[in-house]
Amino acid sequence: MRPLPALGPTRRLTLPRTAERTLSNGLTVIAIRRPSVPLVELRLRIPMPSARLSPAHVARASLLSQTLLSGTSTMSTVDIAAELQRVGGALSVGADPDRLLVSGNALASGLPRILEILREVLTDATYPAPEVNTERDRLIDRIQVARSQPAHLARAALLRRIYGSHPYAVQTPGLAQVRSVTPRALRALHDERLHPAGSTLVIVGDVAPARALDAAEEALSAWDGGGKEVRQPATPPLVPGPLTLVDRPGSVQSSIRIALPAVPRTHEDHAALQLANLVFGGYFSSRWVENIREDKGYTYGPHSLIEHSTAGSVLLVSADVATEVTAPALVETLYELGRIATVPPGSDELEQARQYALGTLQLGMSTQSGLAGLASTYAGFGLRLDYLADHAARLARATREEVAEAAARYLAPARAVAVVLGDADRVESSVAAVLPSERGESPVDDE
C-alpha cells in the first residue's frame, strides 16, 4: 500500500487590501484589491424588503429588476448594453425578498465608465412603456417555465408552508400581479426605494482601492439620498406538523424538501451548527450523501445547507429521488437526522468537516467574483470581510461537545417541516407510513 501523503503546513488566511468610504449621500463603498486578472467586479446591494406579505410588491420588484436597464432619458436599452460592452462590461439586476442586487464586471480600464452608466440608470431610469410591456411579457413567460420545474414548485410549496404570512412566503410573483404592474408603479417604487442610504457598493479587482473609492464617489455622489426605510419582521419559528404532499402527476421523481431551524452567521452556535450540518449532509463526504447516494443509489445530487436571509436563517435539506424509493429515502433521511441529533459525531468525521469548512473559505476568496459576492452578501448583514477570519477561528475551535449540542438543538427530526412534491397517487400510502401526511395545494394556483 502506498501511504496517503500528509498535508503541508496550513497557510494562514490573509485578507486582501480593502478600503471603505461612506459617501455624503449615505452610500457605503467597499473596494478590494485582487489584481489576478485585469477586470473589475461590481455588486450594488440596495435593500428592498417588504413590511408585510405583499404579492404585489414581489411583482413590482421583480419587474423593476427586469426593466432598470431598459432606458434613461438619454439612452435606450440597446445603448446601455452597447456602452457597457465597449468597456468589456455588462450589468444584470436581480431581486429577492431582501434586496435588489445590481451585478456586473468589465475590463479594469472601464471602471469609470461602468460607474457612470450605473449612475445614469439609478438617477434617470425612465421605465418606458414599450420596454416595460416587453419585459412584463417575458417575465410572465419565465414564471411559466419556472412553474414547470419541480425544483421551483417544491421550493415554493416549502416557503409557503414555513413562512405563512411572512413576506418570505411568496418569492415568485403570480401572473395576474405581474400583468397589473404599470410603468408608473415601477417609477414610484424606484423613487421610494432605490436610495444610497443603507445601500452598499462593492468593487473588487485590478484597481487600487483608493482609486476605486474616488471613482465611485465621483460617479455616484449625485445619486439622491432620502427615501423611506422599511423594516422587515423577523421570520416566524418553524412549526412542525404533518408532511405536506404536493401532487405532480406523472412525476418520475419525488422532490423531498425539509426545513430545520438555523441561526444567523453572528450567533454563537453558528460555527458548531455549520459543522454539524456538514457531518450530517452538507457536503459529499457526509453521512447522508454516502448513505442515500453512494450506498443506496436513490438520488444524484442531495444537499443540505443553511440559507441566511436578513430576517432569519433556515436549514434546508433537499433531494430528488426516484418515485419508487420516495418513502425509503425519507426513512434514511430521518434516520441520519436522528442519529446526528442524538449521538455525538466521531472525532475523525468532525475533523474532516472542519478542514472542509476552513479550506472552502480560502477557495471562496480566491477569485474576484468570489470576493465580490462574499463582501456584498456580508455587507447586507452588517458584516465585513474580517468576518471570514473570525469565523475561521470559531470553526477551528468548535469542540465535539458543542457540535453535538448544536446538532441536538437544530437538526432533530422532531423539529423538521417536510414537503414532498411528486406523483401523490403513487407515493402517498408509503409516505404516510413514515410520517403523518396531508395533501397540500399546488403552490401556484393563484390566478
Partner 1 sequence: MPPKPKTPKPKTPRAPKIPSTRYPIERFTLDNGLRVVLAPDRSAPVIGVAVVYDVGIRSEPEGRTGFAHLFEHLMFQGSENLEKLAHFRHVQGSGGTFNGSTHLDYTDYYETLPANALERALFLEADRMRGPRLTEENLRNQVDVVKEEIRVNVLNRPYGGFPWLKLPPVMFDTFPNAHDGYGSFGDLESATVDDARAFFERYYAAGNAVLAVSGDFDVAEATGLVERHFGDVPARPAPQRPDFAEPDLTAERRHAYEDRLAPLPAVAAAWRVPDPIVDFTAYLPYVVLAEVLTDGDASRLMQRLVLRDRIATSVGGYIGFMGEPFEVRDPTALVLQAHLPPGGDVDKVLRTVDEECERIANDGLEPGELARTQARMAAHLLRDTDAVLGRALRMAVLEQQRGDAGLINDLPRLIGEVTEAEVVGAAASLRPSRRAAVEVVPGGAR
Using alpha carbons only, what angle is made at residue 165 by residues 163 and 171, rounded to the nearest 5 degrees? Answer: 60
Minimum CB–partner distance for residue 430 and partner 1 (Å): 18
Q: Which of 307, 225, 233, 179 is nearest to 26 (CA)?
A: 225
Residues 6+ apart with CB under 8 A from 281: 287, 288, 289, 302, 303, 304, 317, 336
Of 29, 42, 87, 418, the one binding partner 1 (CB under 8 A) is 87
Minimum CB–partner distance for residue 41 and partner 1 (Å): 9
d(CA 358, CA 226): 41
* 446: contact with partner 1 by CB under 8 A: no
Applying CB under 8 A, which part among 76-84, 165-173, 209-217, 304-312 lies near partner 1? 76-84
Q: Residue 305 in contact with residue 316, Cβ under 8 Å? A: yes
Of 18, 21, 26, 128, the one binding partner 1 (CB under 8 A) is 128
Q: Which is nearer to partner 1, 227 or 302 (CB)?
A: 302
Q: How many residues bind partner 1 (CB under 8 A)?
A: 94
Of 103, 199, 251, 376, the one binding partner 1 (CB under 8 A) is 251
* 78: contact with partner 1 by CB under 8 A: yes
* 332: contact with partner 1 by CB under 8 A: no
Q: Which is nearer to partner 1, 108 or 157 (CB)?
A: 108
Q: Which is nearer to partner 1, 182 or 362 (CB)?
A: 362
Q: Taking the CB of residue 182, how many other CB atoms lie within 10 A of it?
A: 14
Half-sphere exposure of 229 (CA within 13 A, CB side): 7
Q: Which is nearer to partner 1, 138 or 439 (CB)?
A: 138
Q: Taking the CB of residue 202, how many other CB atoms lie within 10 A of it?
A: 29
Minimum CB–partner distance for residue 122 and partner 1 (Å): 16
Q: Which is nearer to partner 1, 81 or 408 (CB)?
A: 81
Applying CB under 8 A, which part among 33-41, 160-168, 169-177, 219-227 lies near partner 1? 33-41
* 368: contact with partner 1 by CB under 8 A: yes
Site for partner 1 in 338-367 (CB under 8 A): 351-352, 355-356, 358-360, 362-363, 365-367
Site for partner 1 in 88-117 (CB under 8 A): 88-90, 105-110, 113, 116
Minimum CB–partner distance for residue 258 and partner 1 (Å): 18
Site for partner 1 in 142-171 (CB under 8 A): 142, 144-145, 147-151
Q: Which is nearer to partner 1, 26 or 88 (CB)?
A: 88
Site for partner 1 in 410-439 (CB under 8 A): none
* 192: contact with partner 1 by CB under 8 A: no
Minimum CB–partner distance for residue 349 and partner 1 (Å): 9
Of 20, 96, 217, 290, the one binding partner 1 (CB under 8 A) is 290
Minimum CB–partner distance for residue 240 and partner 1 (Å): 28
Minimum CB–partner distance for residue 26 and partner 1 (Å): 26
Minimum CB–partner distance for residue 237 and partner 1 (Å): 32
Site for partner 1 in 264-283 (CB under 8 A): 283
